[in-house]
Structure 1
Amino acid sequence: MIDTRNSIPRWISLLYRYGQMYIGEHLKEYEIGRGQHIFLNALYKEDGLTQEELADYLKIDKGTTAKALKKLEEQGYITRTVSEKDKRCNEVHLTEKAHFIKEDVRKVLTDWRERLTFGLSEEEKTLALVILEKMGNNAARFAEEPVEP
């Protein structure tokens, strides 16, 4: 009998959900939803990406990306403008309001990472990262394979 209470997918799912709860709770004063902080964080790294580049970078479908960006735009955190390079694309830029909360957003993400790795040695942190990266690469590779009937 398989013990599904102690499986890798279960733990990854729990980590994701707990992280979303923690981050959502700590950013609620800014009315940033659970899935929106990742778009801000990506733009903090490289402002001016197109919607398509954001979706590809974050591995999030274009519809979900468009919805999240619409909400961030309505809240005044981003602007979307037609790209000069390619009129079919919208470039996404952070507003002054988004820059104003950058340190708070980054601190919440750093605090979560520190809480998540509390009690782990540097060697354990490195090993966990290596394993998760390999698993992420496997997931990306196998997710793109056609499903056999």
Structure 2
Amino acid sequence: MDSIKNFGEDSSFEYPLAALISIIYRTHNVYLNHILEEFNLTAGQIPFILHLLKKQNISQNDFAEDLFVDKGTVAIALKRLEKEGIVKRKRLDDNRRKYIIYFTPSGREIALNIEKLNKEWEDSILEGLTDLQKEKVMELAKSFSLKSIEIIQKCSDM
């Protein structure tokens, strides 16, 4: 990471927005993977854990729709989380093909710890910004995400 000294100093090179977002995403994953070793988890499972904290007892289909990932990705992530004792799947009585996902008691504790660590990372990268600037960053990031989703949906409709 010696290149950090030169990052942003060379005004002759403008990073595309996607490259900047990619840098944030990748460095966040490196950070998460480092702290998640003790839980035998990876950064790829964190969106599922954090989403389940916000929206408890949801189905695999809900995960796929809410996180904009395919059902196979959801199944793999949940299988690993189940194997690690973080979540359980319960088959619905009225629909034998549908599972509801929920935390185990120890899984909830781990999830709350991960949420705290993730918040600390966000606070660190937003350090020095006013509360209003932080709100604006989050608002813009959400807007970029929604626009990206709209573009992809238009492409798939073609």
TM-score of the two chains, using structure 2 as the length reference: 0.84
- The residue number in structure 2 matching 1:34 is 43
- The residue number in structure 2 matching 1:111 is 120
Matched residue SS, 2:58? coil
Q: CA deviation at 1:64?
A: 0.9
Give the aligned residue type for 2:97. Answer: R
Q: CA deviation at 1:20?
A: 1.0
Does the aligned pair in 2 maintain the 1:76–1:95 contact within 8 Å? yes
1:33-83 CA distances to partner (integer Å, 9 max, x unpaired)?
Answer: 111122111111222100010111111111111111111111111111212
Residues 1:43 and 2:63 are matched in the alignment:
no
Give the aligned residue type for 1:27. Answer: L
- The residue number in structure 1 matching 2:71 is 62
Moved over 6 A (4+): none
Q: 1:63 to 1:8 in 2, by over 3 A?
A: same
CA distance in 2, matches of 1:80, 1:4: 49
Does the aligned pair in 1 maintain the 2:91–2:98 contact within 8 Å? yes
Select 2:153's aligned residue among 133, 139, 144. 144
CA distance in 2, matches of 1:91, 1:121: 40
Alignment gaps of 5+ in structure 2: 1-11
Q: 1:88 to 1:115 in 2, by over 3 A?
A: same
CA distance in 1, matches of 2:55, 2:150: 26
Identity %, equivalent residues: 24
Q: CA deviation at 1:32?
A: 1.1
- The residue number in structure 2 matching 1:96 is 105
Residues 1:127 and 2:136 are matched in the alignment:
yes
Q: Which has the higher contact order (CA 8 A, sep 6+)?
A: 1
How does 1:8-23 map onto structure 2 within 5 Å?
Answer: 8-23=17-32
Range 97-106 or range 12-21, more displaced: 97-106
TM-score of the two chains, using structure 1 as the length reference: 0.89
